[in-house]
Amino acid sequence: MVSFNPVLLTLQAEDGKPHLLASRCEVCGKVYFPQQKLCLQCLEEGIVKGHLLSGQGEIYSFTVVERETLAPKGFQVPYAYGYIDLPEGVRVLSKIVGWSPETLKINASVEIVLEEIRQNEVGEKIMGFRFRVI
Amino acid sequence: MRKVLAIGVGMTKFGKFPDLSVEQLGRDAVWAAMKDAGFRPKDIQVAYLGNLTESRETGHISCVAQEILRGVGIRGIPTTRVENACASGSTAIREAWMAVGSGLYDIALAVGVEKLTGRGPAPLARTGDTLEGIAGFAPPGMWAMRARRHMAQYGTTVEQMARVAVKNRRHGRLNPRAQYPKEVTVEEVRSSPMICTPLTMLDSCPTTDGGAAAILCSEEVAKRYTTKMIYVAAAALQSGTYESTRNIAVNEIEKRASREAYEWAGIGPEDLDFAEVHDCFTIAEIVRTENLGFCKEGEGGRLVEEGVTALGGKLPVNPSGGLLCKGHPIGATGVAQVAELVWQLREEAGDRQVKGAKVGLAHCSGGFIAQDTGASAVIILKR
């Protein structure tokens, strides 16, 4: 198993769980995902350090893609994606899984899970992240 | 800045034209604008092209503006392509406005063109191992999510959204250059195929090919050619602020762009007689009528429901039919809006004429950048 992008997602951090990789300004506390070298609030160099995002958040908004011609390769309609707000003040675009029309709602609680998005040339699983409705 | 006028405009019919090249669409629009102004190719001193999709994949490695313009005899002048997604055409207009306004040139051309049929995945689609790609991002989804928030925050309904499509189809039926000649009903909008909940096919603008052109000039030049003096009172452009947890039911960038345009033009939204607003989706017109100051935040649904924005209403929005009916050839859209403004202000808009129109506004926004909009342009013309 390998991450689809090791800069964005670690499959197993020290706590044994998958995490999105952000960066955090040591001065103002602003968290960036994807990672930023420069804090866009302080605009000073060298004050931003690596940071693991927590894996739970809430749906800010969502849509269910129903039109087949709009679905990128590897996606079968209907599927849901949306913005997930994390407690660090970060909003992440993600496919949403484990939902039903009753549970797919604004403010619904979600948690990060790994999902195989495809296999590479040597048969390894390429893993992406999803948020699953809790 | 000295005064700048719009002296000549032209556009092709908008629609699906598999047999017409991007060069031909651009050249036809430019030729029409030159005929309208009474100019010859040698009169043009500087030119800007708005276009999103031409690239190596479509057979244009570089300098597509020069390639288009050489076919109408426009050569030996500064020629530049600009790209700001759906605001590319408006950006070309702004560049032309600055070129003349600065005093550096007397006559500037802005052309917008886009060829979208037979060109593979939707423009602005994202694929591959990117955050958007692995999430399954589809371009209508951004507006679907804004719709969902607008409904939750302000109580906007899918029926109110459908009324935008009904209105703009009704307007566009009176426009011989529009892609769709037919009206639709609220029921037809709601029962058309769902694309990204809650938006249906008829909540969305179509895939369109087309070109549009506008020639701007100084007051001295205009006086020699016409008595119909149409002034470009403002051409504002803004980028996003990219706040990661912003309220997506409001496009703050459009508030900033319109505020700047109103200030430059020395007017307020209450002085407008009509507007062409970027209605890529029905919800987009609702959100943008709020952002442009036509009504308060959250009241855009009510505005269309009460007929305020229909022809004959207090402030007609998209008398041309807008993107929903006229079509959305991306780079051409902002220039075509300016063409509509000029026709309306000259009282040449036929059955869709806004009676006595003196001041019109054109708005386009483009590009999804970090949950925000990349570019927003607001142009005001007055006679």
Residue B263 sits in a domain whose CATH number is: 3.40.47.10
pLDDT in tens, B252-281: 999 999 999 999 999 999 999 999 999 999
Q: How many domains does chain B have?
A: 2
A94 touches chain B (CB under 8 A): yes
Q: Which among B135, B146, B197 has CB closest to A66?
A: B197
Report the distance separating Cα A13 and Cα A10, nearest Å: 6
Contact (CB<8Å) B141/A63: yes
Determine the distance in angstroms separating the CA of A16 from the nearest CA of chain B, rounded to an integer: 23
pLDDT in tens, B211-267: 999 999 999 999 999 999 999 999 999 999 988 888 999 999 999 999 999 999 999
- Minimum Cα–Cα distance from A85: chain B residue: B245
- Identify the pLDDT of residue B128: 78
Which residues from A are below 8 Å from B120, CB to CB?
Answer: none
Return the structure tokens found at B344. 């309306």
Selection from B338, B334, B323 nearest residue B381 by Cα: B338
- CB–CB contact A61 B148 (8 Å): yes
pTM of the model: 0.96
User: Is pLDDT at B110 greater than 80 in this prediction?
Assistant: yes
Domain assignment of residue B126, yes or no:
no
Among B342, B331, B355, residue whose Cα is nearest residue B383: B342
Beta bridge partners of B79: B47
* Domain boundaries along the sequence of chain A: 2-133
Residue A72 and residue B131: Cβ atoms within 8 Å? no
Backbone angles phi, psi at B49, to 5 degrees: -115, 135
Q: A120 vs chain B: nearest CA distance in angstroms? A: 12
On whether residue B214 sits in a domain, the answer given is: yes
**What token pair was written down for B372?**
């925000």
Q: What gap in Å lies between CA A29 and CA A15, rounded to an integer?
A: 23
C-alpha torsion sign, points B254, B259, B260, B261: positive
Q: What is the pLDDT of residues B346-381, one digit of tens each?
A: 999 999 999 999 999 999 999 988 889 999 999 999
Nearest to A62 among B138, B145, B199 (CB): B145
For residue B158, pLDDT over 80 is answered with yes
Alpha carbon B21 to its chain centroid, in Å, reads 21
Q: Is residue B124 part of a domain?
A: no
- A58 touches B: beta carbon within 8 Å: no
Q: What residue numbers bound the domain in which B106 lies? A: 4-119+208-232
Kindly determine whether residue A8 and residue B193, on different chains, have CB atoms separated by under 8 Å. no
Whether B125 is covered by a domain: the verdict is no
Six token digits for residue A5: 């992008």
pLDDT in tens, A3-40: 999 999 999 999 999 999 999 999 999 999 999 999 99
Contact A95 B134 (CB under 8 A): yes
Number of C-beta neighbours around residue B91 at 10 A: 26
C-alpha closest to that of B106 among B17, B37, B25, B57: B37
pLDDT of residue B181: 94
B78 contacts B356 by C-beta, under 8 angstroms:
no
> Residue B382 has which token pair?
């007055």
